[in-house]
C-alpha cells in the first residue's frame, strides 16, 4: 500500500483576509495591522490581563483617524470574537468609532446557522445595553456586520463596506 500523497492545506481565511487587505491598500491614511503581536491586542481596564493574555483586535485591523475597523474571519462557529468587544466598548476606552466585520466561512446555507443567529442576538443585546447604559450610539460610535462566504469567493459587499467607512 502506498502512503497517501501530501496535499497542501488551503487556508481560506488567509485568502479572504489577503483580498480584503489588498482592497484597502488604496485607502489614504489607513494603517493595517494583523496577527498576534502586542500591537494588535487590547486589554480591559481593571481586568489585570497583560501581554498575550489580552484580546486580539481581529484577524485584520484597519486604523484611521476617527475609525477602527476589525475583521474577524471564522471557519468554525463561535461568538467570543464578537463578545470580547462588549466590555471594551462599555469601558469608554475607544477614542473613536469601532466597526466590527465578522465573516463566517460556510460550505452550505445551514453551516453554523445557530452561531450566526446567536451572533445577531448578541449584537442586538450589545446595542441595547451600550445605548441605554453607556450612551454609545449605533453607527456613530460602533457598529457590527456579519457576512458569510464560501471558499474562493470574492467579497465585494465587504470591500464596499470597508471602503465606505474610511471615505465618509
How does pLDDT run across 9-67, given as a tens digit for each residue?
767 788 899 999 988 888 889 999 998 888 899 999 899 999 889 999 999 999 999 99
Q: Where are the domains of the chain?
A: 12-165
Q: How many CB atoms lie within 10 A of CB 12?
A: 15
26 versus 104: which is more confidently predicted? 104
**CA gap 153, 12 in Å, rounded:** 9
**Per-residue confidence band for 140, with pLDDT thresholds at 50, 70 and 90:** very high
Q: Which CATH architecture has domain 12-165?
A: 3-Layer(aba) Sandwich (3.40)
Confidence of residue 2 (pLDDT cuts 50, 70, 90): low
Task: Give the whole-angstrom CA distance, residue 61 versus residue 14.
Answer: 14
pLDDT category at 3 given cuts 50, 70, 90 is low
pLDDT confidence of residue 23: 84
> 103, exposed or middle or buried, with CB in 10 Å at 0-12, 13-18, 19+?
buried
Q: What is the pLDDT of residues 52-74, one digit of tens each?
A: 899 999 999 999 999 999 999 98
φ, ψ of residue 144 to 5 degrees: the values are: -140, 140
Per-residue pLDDT tens over the stretch 74-95: 877 778 999 999 999 999 877 7
Amino acid at each position: 500500500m502506498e502512503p497517501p500523497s501530501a496535499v497542501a492545506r488551503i487556508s481560506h481565511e488567509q485568502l479572504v483576509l489577503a483580498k480584503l487587505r489588498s482592497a484597502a491598500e488604496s485607502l489614504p491614511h489607513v494603517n493595517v495591522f494583523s496577527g498576534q503581536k502586542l500591537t494588535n491586542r487590547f486589554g480591559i481596564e481593571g481586568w489585570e490581563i497583560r501581554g498575550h493574555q489580552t484580546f486580539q483586535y481581529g484577524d485584520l485591523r484597519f486604523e484611521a483617524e476617527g475609525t477602527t475597523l476589525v475583521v474577524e474571519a471564522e471557519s468554525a462557529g463561535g461568538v467570543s470574537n464578537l463578545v470580547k468587544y462588549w466590555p471594551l466598548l462599555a469601558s469608554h476606552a475607544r477614542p473613536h468609532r469601532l466597526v466590527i466585520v465578522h465573516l463566517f466561512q460556510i460550505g452550505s446555507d445551514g453551516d453554523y446557522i445557530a452561531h450566526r443567529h446567536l451572533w445577531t442576538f448578541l449584537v442586538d443585546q450589545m446595542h441595547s445595553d451600550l445605548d441605554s447604559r453607556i450612551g454609545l450610539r449605533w453607527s456613530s460610535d460602533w457598529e457590527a456586520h456579519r457576512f458569510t462566504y464560501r471558499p474562493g469567493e470574492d467579497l465585494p459587499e465587504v470591500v464596499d463596506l470597508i471602503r465606505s467607512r474610511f471615505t465618509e
